[in-house]
Amino acid sequence: MSYTGEVAVGGPVDVRELPGLTITKIATNPFNNNCYLLRDTGSGETLLIDAAGDPERLLEALGDGTLVGVVETHGHWDHQQALIDVVKATGAPVLATQADAADLPLPVDRVLSDGDTVRVGSHELTAITLVGHTPGSVALHYPSEGGHLFTGDALFPGGVGNTEQDAARFSSLIDDVDTKLFGAFPDSTWVYPGHGSDTTLGAERPSLSEWRKRGW
């Protein structure tokens, strides 16, 4: 079956096969977060994006892969419930921005800045900082097959992440999302958010001006 990005807590994972790279999407307890395992099919090296919950399930999905890093898209506690257990089991380094590092339960082994490269096997993803949902949210872009964006809680179907009705934070986030995501990548780019269903930049682009007007 083809990948849809539709997953539910306790339900099956969804798997997308790209040339040389497998993306596994898992919905986890306790807050219905999305976690993504990116596995290089040649080496077995695997990157986890957000150790949000259900560590046993994440480790089961990892299988015989070698976890080479855990990227925390931001420091909110619902995205880190499995971090300690996953790192304890695998020894994998933690990657996050400096601005959100203090909110994580473990020290950050590698600080991510705008434009940094994150490798998994022979594949490279680019870090993109997005300020507003938190001071140091980070997305990851993988350019293959039309483009893939792992956006954490910065971008969802229907809008940007929660900025708690703070006008300055909303302005920062919508500007970053507009410039660094919509302004940089084509409509074909697939968006993998931190909660809920996937989308594409093309599906969301027509709504940008509406999001700005409503202020959230």
Which domains does the chain show, CATH number per domain?
Answer: 14-153+187-200 (3.60.15.10)
pLDDT in tens, 15-63: 999 999 999 999 999 899 999 999 999 999 999 999 999 999 999 999 9
User: In degrees rounded to 5, what are phi and psi of residue 33?
Assistant: -90, 155
> In whole angstroms, what is the distance from residue 11 CA to residue 97 CA?
31
3-state secondary structure of 67: strand
pLDDT in tens, 106-131: 999 999 999 999 999 999 999 999 99
> In whole angstroms, what is the distance from residue 102 CA to residue 81 CA?
15
Polymer length of the chain: 216
How high is the mean pLDDT of the chain?
97
- Given 3-state DSSP classes, what are the helix, strand and coil percentages for the chain, each rounded to the nearest 5? 25, 30, 45
Instruction: Name the residue among 215, 213, 184 with its Cα closest to residue 201.
Output: 184
Instruction: Name the residue among 161, 158, 167 with its Cα closest to residue 206.
Output: 158
What does the block give as tokens for 172?
């920062």
Q: What is the pLDDT of residue 174?
A: 98
pLDDT at 1 over 90: no
